[in-house]
Amino acid sequence: MSCAEFTVCPPAELEARLRLQRLPEIGAQRFFKLIQVFGSASAALSAPAAAWSALGLPQAAHEARRCAEVRDGAGAAMRWLEQPGQHLLMWDDPGYPALLAEIPDPPPLLFVAGNLALVDKPQLAVIGSRRATPPALGTAAAFSRSLAKAGFVVTSGLALGIDGAAHQAAIDAGGATIGVLGSGLEKLYPQRHRALARRMLESGSALVSEFPLDAGPQPGNFPRRNRIISGLSLGVLVVEASLASGSLITARLAAEQGREVFAIPGSIHHPGPRAAIS
């Protein structure tokens, strides 16, 4: 169920949207603004520079519209979509995840590798520290196994620590899991989880990203991807996250999105764990 399968998005418009996504300084809000003003990505790309400037868009964005790198990247994405198990969901597709569509800034484009049906199934996110203690890793795995056996998709960020433990436990339990990347699907990060990502796809799970396929793991990408983790999920379980942890960004976003937020700040086997989040 990729965008190419919907008549609402002909191939020329699909390629135009992929080009628009690759322009510098064009995030979700500006992407939607361009579609709203010009009616389509194709029309936006062919509009005069003055029209872009009148909208307050940066010069770098409209100057890059005809760059070979932008065209080639969109063409490569079109070829990627021709392969089995590789999809692109767009905000106006019937198959776009209903919960994600409700958040204030849903991603206009969402690349999916693997089992596309999972993105609209009931999900619970399990996230936490990249430098988690062994008890926390065990707790995250135990909860993820139970959630998977109960029929929930376990969603996380494929990071080291708690995220990886959650993904692996869901697979081990015979369940499904979704990894939301802070990079493009062809620039998987962290590299140490390449084998885990492969096992996820082989077991019927999925990887998703709003970033172009070849986008590297820039620091600013991860706060953006966190809104997708919470946006896809009914609730978020935070395991052992410090006050400076990116997991707290996800927890805050989840609360703002009206999702349930749960926390295990310390060992559930210790009589008095000190809370790292409140």
pLDDT in tens, 136-150: 999 999 999 999 999
Tell me what pLDDT residue 8 has.
Answer: 57
Pairwise CA distance, residues 139 & 146, whole Å = 11
Ramachandran quadrant class, 96 (left: phi over 0; alpha: psi -120 to 50; beta: rest)? beta
| The pLDDT value given to residue 192 | 96
Residue ranges of the alpha helices (H) in the chain?
A: 11-22, 28-38, 41-46, 49-54, 59-63, 68-81, 98-101, 134-149, 162-172, 194-202, 221-232, 247-256
- The pLDDT value given to residue 134: 93
Note the pLDDT of residue 278. 35
Residue 242 sits in the same domain as residue 122: yes
What's the confidence (pLDDT) of residue 3? 40
Domain-embedded: residue 151 = yes
Domain count, the chain: 2
Q: Identify residue 192 by its one-letter amino acid code.
A: R
Same domain, 218 and 130: yes
**Residue at which a domain ends, from 82, 97, 127:** 82
Residue 275: per-residue pLDDT:
39
Contact 178, 205 (CB under 8 A): yes
Residue 242 has what pLDDT?
Answer: 62
CA–CA gap between residue 103 and residue 93 (Å, rounded): 16
Domain assignment present for residue 110? The answer is no
Contact call for residues 183 and 155 (beta carbons, < 8 A): no
32 shares a domain with 162: no
pLDDT at residue 169 in the model? 98
| Closest to 114 (Cα-Cα) out of 207, 36, 245 | 207
Residue 93 lies in a domain: no
**Considering the domain boundaries, does residue 27 fall inside one?**
yes
Same domain, 163 and 228: yes
Can you tell me the distance from the alpha carbon of 186 to that of 203, in angstroms, rounded to the nearest whole number? 19
Residue that is last in its domain, among 32, 63, 82: 82
CA distance 243 to 22: 34
Say which DSSP state 274 is in: P
CA distance 16 to 10: 10
Tell whether 184 and 250 lie within a shared domain: yes
Q: Quick one: pLDDT at residue 269?
A: 53
Q: Which residues of the chain have pLDDT under 70?
A: 1-8, 241-245, 265-278
- Assess whether 17 and 121 both reside in one domain: no
**Domain presence at residue 270:** no
- With beta carbons less than 8 A apart as the criterion, state whether 90 and 109 touch: yes
What does the pLDDT look like over 61-102, one tens digit per residue? 999 998 999 999 999 999 999 999 999 999 999 999 999 999
pLDDT confidence of residue 272: 44
What is the separation of C-alpha 203 from the centre of its chain, rounded to a whole number of angstroms? 19
What pTM does this model have? 0.90
In this structure, what token pair is assigned to residue 84? 């089995």
- Range(s) of the domain holding residue 149: 116-264
> Does the residue 130 lie in any domain?
yes
Q: Which of 197, 252, 196 is nearest to 223 (CA)?
A: 252
CATH number for the domain that contains residue 252: 3.40.50.450
DSSP summary character for residue 183: S
